[in-house]
Amino acid sequence: PDMEEERERLNQIDGAMPRLNAIPTGCAFNPRCPQVFDRCRVERPELMNAGATRAACWLHAAAPAVVAAPGAAA
């Protein structure tokens, strides 16, 4: 990052970071993210384009996948 450039401050997510021996399945932020949805709980996102930057968040996926409940047909 450019230390001289003015940047908007990032919002902090409420809650505490998980212990390294208790990282949840899926996205590591899913227990405390206010916009969590089913895919976040089962699949960890990779870095993807998010406007002028990149993010590892399913909210920035081009086409969200449908995740069926366990035992349900997709």
Residue 66 scores a pLDDT above 70: no
pLDDT at 70 (0 to 100): 59
Q: Higher confidence at residue 11 or residue 61?
A: 61
Return the pLDDT at 16.
81
The answer to whether 54 and 44 are in contact (CB under 8 A) is no
Q: Where do we find the tokens 């001289």?
A: 4
**How confident is the model over 43-48, as a mean pLDDT?**
94
30-41 tens-digit pLDDT = 999 999 999 999
Name residues whose C-beta falls within 8 Å of residue 19's C-beta, 6 or more positions apart in sequence.
none
Question: Residue 19 has what pLDDT?
Answer: 83
| Structure-token match 């021996």, residue found | 21
